Every structure is written in C-alpha cells, then in structure tokens.
Structure 1
C-alpha cells in the first residue's frame, strides 16, 4: 500500500500518480479515483499514457473549460462551451520527450513528484510541459463530457470516494494522539508514523474481510437475498474493535481456525 507525506499546501496529483504505480500489490489497476485536489491537466495526460482511467471528482465542474481538436466552428451546439482548439502540433513535436518522461515514472527511475516539481518550476517556458498540458486538455475534455452524460459514472465516482473517506475516518479514529497530527519535524519519522497507521488500517480491513466472507457463507444459503447487498458492504468498519489499550501479536503462534460468528443478531 502506498504511503507518502505531502505538505498541506501541495496538490495531490503527483502523489496520486506515484500511488497508482507504486502500490506494491498484485492488483492490476485500471481506474484511479481522486478528489479535486489531485486534478491537473498534466495528471490527465500522464494517467492516460500510463494506461489508467483517471476519474476525479472536480468541484465547480460546470465552470471547467472544454477544448476541441477540430475548429470550434464545426461544433455548432457546443461553441459556447469550447475555449479554444488544442495545439496538436505541439503534442506531435514533443511527443517523444513526453513518452520519455512517462516511461521514467513507469519504470521507477524517478517519481511523478520529482518530475512535476521540476517541470512546474519553469512550465511557462518549457515547450515539453506545454505539450504535455495540451495532451491533458484532450483527456480532460473527454472525461468532462462523459461525466456530464453518464449518470452511472458520476455515482460510481462518488461511491468510490466515499469509500476513501471511510478510510480517512478510520485513520482519524486510530490516530488519536496529538489530535491526529504528525508532530515530528523529521520526514522519516512522519513516514514511519504514517506507515504504522496504514498497517493497522490494513489489518482491520483484512480481519473484517475474512469474517464478512464467513458471515456471508453462513447466511447466504438460508437467505439468498443478502447477496444483493454485498456491493454496499465495506470492510472498513470498526465499531466492534477496541481501539484503546495494547495488542500483543505473536507471529509464531498463529490460530488454527477462525473465531465463531456471533449469530444472535440474525437478520430476517
């Protein structure tokens, strides 16, 4: 699972890209959902070239600019929505350089955070950066049109981000010391705290997943209708977990079987 410490005034776009690449699991990601703080035109371009579908929830989406490849005059019904045409010649001219940047991120030779920080420092003068942003404008426009037309897409983005908020809520409950704030100045210590917090979140999620599966297997034969509720079930729940005190974990003596289910609260 990807963990990174970023400043509060920093956009999350670079971290979102690095997280999609460096999640260190066997999962093959196809989509990446974020909120507005992780959205930039550059992020749209890089996610596209990396093979991911970038699905951000953008605030004030009605005020977003749309761009076209063909002359705006050809889109009579959309002329009021289109800002300008994309400079495709810039993309074609610097496409090899763009691919080299994305390849460096994909292979781990550098991170999106390092690249975007460097490019951002002289974005107005750098033609490669400008071409990358032009490519991002194409992908952003496609996404905005899909978002406006497809109600299911809007619901799915909201649902996925709500799941992410659940994880944030659990993190706040677990990280009760210092009101959930990293007080260490040393970045390594901050990263250690964040990583430890992440391990606990993953442990709770794994525990719940195992027992949710056991509960499902127990009830589904007698109540097949519960299957339709599974898409709305999440392993990120913690009311049944004692978040205070100490836990002693002995990795050498693993339990031979799962605990029995509490079937007293059986649902009709």
Structure 2
C-alpha cells in the first residue's frame, strides 16, 4: 500500500475553488477530497465548518475570512484599563500570571472581556517601554530571567515545517518514558518514524523547558475538570522520591547499599497535587536528605496551582524546614515515624501546660529570633522572589558544624511550629488521615511510573545531569496525560443500581 503524506497546511484559493465545486456534487466525501489534494481530513472538515453559508461552501467567502483573520491581531491589554491595574497589583503581590488568569475565571461578577490568558500578561509586560514599571514587574516574576518558548518549539524558535511532527514527538516521548530507546519504534517506511526523523526530533524539540511548559498546560487543564475539583483544590501536595540505579559512571550519582546495592544511583524527587497531577520534579544525586529540596516544589513550579501545604515522609522533615515554611506562609505537614519520641518545645519556662508539662522538655530561645528577625525577613524575601535557590540556601545554612545566628534563629522558629504541628497531629485523627491519603496518592502514582519505566531494568543510563533530567522529565510528563482519563470519567454516565444518574 502506498504511503500518502497528509499535510495540515492551509488551503489556497485554487484548492478552495476545487472544494466548492466538489462539495456540490452528489456523493461528495471530504476524506477522499483530502487525500486527493494531500491534506489532512481535519483541515477540510474545519474549512467546511467555518466557511459554509446555509450548508453551502463558498470559496470567495472563505478566502475573505482567512485574510480578515490574519489581519486581526491577538488581544492586547489596555494599559489604562481596570483589568491591567488589577494585574499589576497582583504581580506585585507575587502572584504568577498563571495564578492571575486562573483566579479571574473564578470571579462570578466579571464578564467574559475581563478574562485574560497568562501568555497575554507575559507579552504585555515584555512589550512595555523601558522604565521603572517594567523593571518592577519583571523583578516580581518568579522566572524573570528565563526566556519563554511555546510548547514543543524547535531549539531555533522557528516554526515546524515537517509533516506529522506530533507522531514523531509522541514516539520519542514513549521511547524515553518507557526507557526502551528509539530502536523499537523506528519504521523506515513511515517518514515520521525514520531513524533520522526521531533523532532530529529528540535533539531539537524535547528539552527540559518544553516538557515543563507542556506539563504545566496539562496540570492546569486537569485543575478545571469537575472530578479533579472534587478530589481537591490544588492547595495540598505531597513530595516523595523514587530511586533509580545508574550503572554508568557519572558524577551525578551517589552510593546507597539499601537502594542501589553495589551500584550508584539518583533520586527523582517529585511533587503530586491533591488532584493527582505531578507539577514539579528534581534530580538528586544519590540519596541526599529530602528536606534540602522540599521547598523547591513550591517556589519553582510553573503551573497555575498554588499549593500552600506540603506533606512528606520523615526524611523530608527538619526543624530548619519547619521554620522556613512558616516564614514563607506555607504549612509543612510531614508524616513522622517517631512522633511520640519527638521533643516538644516551650517558649516560657515557667508556663504551666498541665498534663503536657512532662513532654514539654525543650526550651526555645525567642531572643535569637528577635536578634535575627530582619535577616530572616530578607531570607524569606530572597526565596519568594527567586533570588536564591531553596536547596542552595538550606545547604549553606547547614554546612557548618557551628550554625550561624541566622540558622539558629530559623531553627528556633521551626521548633515552635513543629511543636504546634505535633500537638495537632497527635490530637486530630482527621488530620493524620488526610496526610496519609495524600501520601498514598503519590505512592500510587509511583507504582504506575514503575510500570511505565520498564525498559533496561528500570535503570537510568545517562551520564550527565541534563540527560537524566530530560529523560525523567519525559517519564514524569507521561504520567500527567492521565488528565484525559479524568476527562473520560467525567463524560461517562454514572450507573448506580442499574440506573443512570447525574454527575
């Protein structure tokens, strides 16, 4: 059978004239006409739907419409509008454009003209003339120094000129996520699946920034589904790590006999929202303590979610992390394996806590907090504005055997908040169950991930950090399209006791 290359390219006037004549003949088939002019059927169906008057296609009308659409620019924000003033104030309050766009859709009193996409906000800010306003807004963006690229853009930022590019991208994603390499997917008789095409696609289109951008769009889409909103509002997330053996020699791996045997390995530390969507991931050499990296999922993720509470296991907990979470306005809710043996801290040595006096053995020192308060606020501001990476800051605070005054002050704050957390954790059974439920969501996602990453014994055989991040990014993104499963469930009729019921 001869392979016919179908294109998504727009029709010219000659094609439209031929379509007008053919569509008026008896027994006309849009699919056969598409094969005749080597266009994809969806192009013909869209052309007929857009440009038919009383179910009759008109070539001249179609050409005029196309010309008018090309002349019509994209929506622009008016600098003197109320909407723009709201956006400016929200950005100065450290809202991301994604959060602003999502929040505007939830206001019941606003009409459709007040809705705006996050890409329009970014474009408007970058189009501002040089001055204090532009500098101020850019400094408030979380990723002020990163150049934004459209999802799946070529490395040169040029538009794609090849046919069936989605097929090639899907093949490379499957090869990387399943850890099987490109060889099983190569088809020499299919142009989109030749060895040269797949290698070219992998080198030019699938990069960490494009995968991150595509994942953010899927996570935001999942958040709009009614079923996902029943699961949660996106304010709660869990963080946990997956271990991968790296049998090749690489400096970005570490030993741990418990997880890697005689080999070395890496940890993929990923974050899962209460809507079952993964919104961030970090490659960690070996098995460094999770608490070093737990803040990065909140501060560096690029989705429209705004998680304010993170749940981890014992490895992600430390008094320093409790203190940093409180300074940033977040809630840290770990599942502690030894909660009963934990130290409870008191601020007032002479205070009477009744039956809790026996367990309140630790004495915190509020004077350290008072002396370092200004430095603590500067530290929190630097983290919030993205001036310093959270993992780098935590490492620098803990690198010395003799902690600095700032480190001691943050730890004192953490001890107080850890004590409040422990009291709530021990007393509130629903709170403990909520933490366990969210952690189980992450574990179930990991089980699916292990099944997907089945090739080469589930080992990561990339030597460099970039390659490891790219492959695990592809693998993490392959889990996010589960949002289409959520969409499918939402659209199916629910049957209870043999009767169809409303959702």
Into which bin does the TM-score normalised by the smaller protein fall? 0.7 to 0.9
The 1:123/1:21 distance shift into structure 2, 3 A limit, reads: farther
Partner in structure 1 of residue 418 of structure 2: 140
Q: Which has the higher strand share?
A: 2
Contact 2:293 2:390 in 1 (8 A): yes
| 1:206 counterpart = 2:483 | yes
Partner in structure 2 of residue 52 of structure 1: 330
Aligned-pair CA distance for 1:72: 5.3
Partner in structure 2 of residue 259 of structure 1: none
Partner in structure 2 of residue 79 of structure 1: 357
Contact 1:124 1:130 in 2 (8 A): no
Contact 1:35 1:57 in 2 (8 A): yes
Deviations, residues 56-98 of structure 1 (Å, cap 9, x unaligned) = 1111111111101111552232222112221100011101111
Contact 1:72 1:82 in 2 (8 A): no
Out of 473, 483, 500, the residue aligned to residue 195 of structure 1 is 473
Give the number of the structure whose alpha-carbon radius of gyration is greater. Answer: 2
The 1:86/1:159 distance shift into structure 2, 3 A limit, reads: same
| 1:151 counterpart = 2:426 | no
Contact 1:147 1:153 in 2 (8 A): yes
Q: How far apart in 2 are the matches of 1:108 and 1:55?
A: 23
Aligned-pair CA distance for 1:149: 0.5
Q: How far apart in 2 are the matches of 1:219 and 1:112?
A: 45
Aligned-pair CA distance for 1:187: 0.8
| 1:66 counterpart = 2:341 | no
Contact 1:48 1:139 in 2 (8 A): yes
Partner in structure 1 of residue 294 of structure 2: 16
The 1:43/1:213 distance shift into structure 2, 3 A limit, reads: same
State the SS of the aligned residue for 2:354: coil
Contact 2:313 2:335 in 1 (8 A): yes
| 1:219 counterpart = 2:497 | no
Partner in structure 1 of residue 311 of structure 2: 33
State the SS of the aligned residue for 2:345: strand
Deviations, residues 185-230 of structure 1 (Å, cap 9, x unaligned) = 3111110011101110111x21111111112xx2279455x97xxx
Aligned-pair CA distance for 1:131: 0.7
Q: How far apart in 2 are the matches of 1:136 and 1:179?
A: 41
Contact 2:397 2:403 in 1 (8 A): no
Aligned-pair CA distance for 1:39: 0.6
Partner in structure 1 of residue 458 of structure 2: 180
Out of 377, 380, 386, the residue aligned to residue 99 of structure 1 is 377
Out of 389, 414, 417, the residue aligned to residue 111 of structure 1 is 389
Partner in structure 1 of residue 128 of structure 2: none
Q: TM-score, normalised by structure 2?
A: 0.43
Q: How far apart in 2 are the matches of 1:223 and 1:142?
A: 47
Partner in structure 1 of residue 282 of structure 2: 4
Aligned-pair CA distance for 1:180: 2.4
Q: How far apart in 2 are the matches of 1:220 and 1:49?
A: 48
The 1:72/1:179 distance shift into structure 2, 3 A limit, reads: farther
- The CA RMSD over aligned residues, in Å, is 1.8
State the SS of the aligned residue for 1:56: coil
State the SS of the aligned residue for 2:470: helix
Partner in structure 2 of residue 266 of structure 1: none
Deviations, residues 16-60 of structure 1 (Å, cap 9, x unaligned) = 211012221111212111111111111111111211111111111
Structure 1 runs of 4+ aligned residues shifted over 6 Å read none
Q: TM-score, normalised by structure 1?
A: 0.78
